[in-house]
Structure 1
Amino acid sequence: MADRRTAAAPARVPTEPTGAAPRAADAVVGRPHGAATGPTRTLLACGLVAGPLYIVVVVAQMLGRDGFDISRHPASLLSNGDRGWIQIANFAVSGLLFVAYAIGLRRLLTAEGGRGRGWGPLLVGVFGAGMVGAAVFSADPVDGFPPGTPGGPPTTVSVSGMLHFLVAGLAFLALVAACFVFARRFGEARRRAWAAFSTTTGALFLTGWMSIFAFPGARPANVAFAVAIGLVLVWTSLLAVRLLSPPGPG
């Protein structure tokens, strides 16, 4: 006769281990998982400030520097002349803010898991380092700016000018790639609006950048490039806002 004290053991419901990283399909970009608090939020806020700071300082100089014409001169030329220190400081401070932003991204996305948690922050950090490099290596005066510079392209290029071109190119390439990395991450999280925004921003920035090589010296190409830089910097700031905010649709 069976022991009456024997009872069927209740079926155990499998649970995920405590502290397990979220599955990639469940990772939601912008949802704080406890990592976006304290220092991490401060680091992410650096990304909110960096883009607008750079844009405001450049626009202020465009309006206040004699001889500067955004349809002829890239913003990098503002590093020359008596007040060139303003743009040098702008590059340095904005670049360091982007590096801090990248550290915050790394901390948050590592906690969240999902696609791009390694490459996304790294590429943003490379962009920030490139801006710091642009502060160290100034572009050569060209096409009448600063006042007194001969018109047209320079006949020679200094070592500083070549290094500026190199670090700026690496920085731009990294930011283009970052747009597409985050587009894939948002797509995986089914944030379709943000995936489309990131893809479009990366494509427009790349197109604007390439236009100055396809049409050297053309004023529309120079303006398109300036607008593309502004657009991608707005994207970096809005991304910071998205990461600092509770998740929502889109």
Structure 2
Amino acid sequence: MSMSPNRGLLWCGVAAGPLFLGVSTLAGLLRPEYSLARHPISSLALNGAGGVQVLNFLLTGALLTAFAVGAGRELGRVGRTGPVPWLLGLCGAGLVGAGLFRTDPVSGYPPGTPHELVYTPLGVLHDAASALFFFGLPLACVLYALRSLADRRWVVAGYSVLTAAAFFACFLWASAGFQQNPGLVAVGGLYQRASLLVGFAWIAVLALLLLRSEKTRGAPTPR
């Protein structure tokens, strides 16, 4: 049985996280001078096989954007698409931008570069693009939680709120680590990965809920 076009778009939301985290983790493990716990994922694009991480940003951003289109179509069946798909689309665009504009060195990677972050125009553009993801995703979680509360879907609402809180807290701790906070600098990369794991897991859960709705057709659509 062939898959409907919109189901294919929704499956992109399931695939985005494993692709991004899997590729970036493997790339980091293959570089002895790179620390998964200390360094940001974006630094993998700076030297060596940096094109792999650039491609990882671009492909994951494309998958997330495709999922946003599918989510908008599925949620629109109840007559109100809402802002969540648009925010997910901005998240996807942010990842694409993060791939197009490379970050500045930080925390001593690549080897021989300063530990303190020194901004360049490309680095500023990278951070601006990344902000679309790191601020857009928790906002999408909160708005989806409000939507779920209106429909008395308490578990989904609670999970979405907890995701937003955990995602943003880990993002702030990671940012402090990359700014060389003495207590967090050694684990900045770890907190960033925790943030991304939590966020991409929520995207996958949302995609699976919408896939179930698309399959049943006659049942009320998750809202």
Matched, 1:199 2:165: no
What's the CA shift for 1:142? 2.5
What residue is the counterpart of 2:125 in the other structure? 163
Q: Distance in 2 between matches of 1:141 and 1:85?
A: 16
Matched, 1:177 2:139: yes
Contact 1:47 1:98 in 2 (8 A): yes
TM-score of the aligned structures, taking structure 2 as reference length: 0.87
Amino acid paired to 2:32 = D
Contact 2:20 2:57 in 1 (8 A): yes
What's the CA shift for 1:84? 0.3
Residue 245 of structure 1 aligns to a residue whose secondary structure is: helix
The 10-residue stretch of structure 1 (218-227 or 69-78) with the greater mean CA deviation from structure 2: 218-227
Q: Distance in 2 between matches of 1:168 and 1:143?
A: 18
What's the CA shift for 1:67? 1.1
- The aligned length equals 209
Matched, 1:44 2:10: yes
Matched, 1:235 2:198: no
Q: Distance in 2 between matches of 1:237 and 1:209?
A: 19
- Who wins on radius of gyration, i.e. which is larger? 1
Residue 208 of structure 2 aligns to a residue whose secondary structure is: helix
Please list every run of 5 or more consecutive structure 2 residues that lacks an aligned counterpart in the other structure: 214-218
Contact 1:79 1:138 in 2 (8 A): yes
Contact 1:208 1:221 in 2 (8 A): no
Matched, 1:139 2:103: yes
TM-score of the aligned structures, taking structure 1 as reference length: 0.78
Which has more helix, going by share of residues?
2
Matched, 1:126 2:90: yes
The 10-residue stretch of structure 1 (216-225 or 79-88) with the greater mean CA deviation from structure 2: 216-225
What's the CA shift for 1:61? 1.1
Contact 1:182 1:195 in 2 (8 A): yes
What's the CA shift for 1:40? 1.1
Q: Distance in 2 between matches of 1:233 and 1:124?
A: 11
What's the CA shift for 1:224? 2.2
Q: Deviations over 1:138-194 (max 9, x none)?
A: 1012233223x334114x322111100111112211111011111112222222111
Amino acid paired to 1:230 = L
1:74 to 40, 49, 66: 40
Q: Deviations over 1:74-116 (max 9, x none)?
A: 10101111200000000000000111000001111111235xx
**Percent pairwise identity:** 34
Amino acid paired to 1:63 = L
1:113 to 79, 82, 88: 79
Please list every run of 5 or more consecutive structure 1 residues that lacks an aligned counterpart in the other structure: 1-36
Q: Distance in 2 between matches of 1:210 and 1:141?
A: 19
Q: Distance in 1 between matches of 2:175 and 2:46?
A: 23
Q: Distance in 2 between matches of 1:50 and 1:182?
A: 19
Q: Deviations over 1:197-236 (max 9, x none)?
A: 1110011111111223455322345422321111111110
What's the CA shift for 1:135? 0.6
Q: Distance in 1 between matches of 2:147 and 2:106?
A: 41
Amino acid paired to 1:242 = L
What residue is the counterpart of 2:63 in the other structure? 97
Q: Deviations over 1:19-67 (max 9, x none)?
A: xxxxxxxxxxxxxxxxxx7111111111111111111111111211221
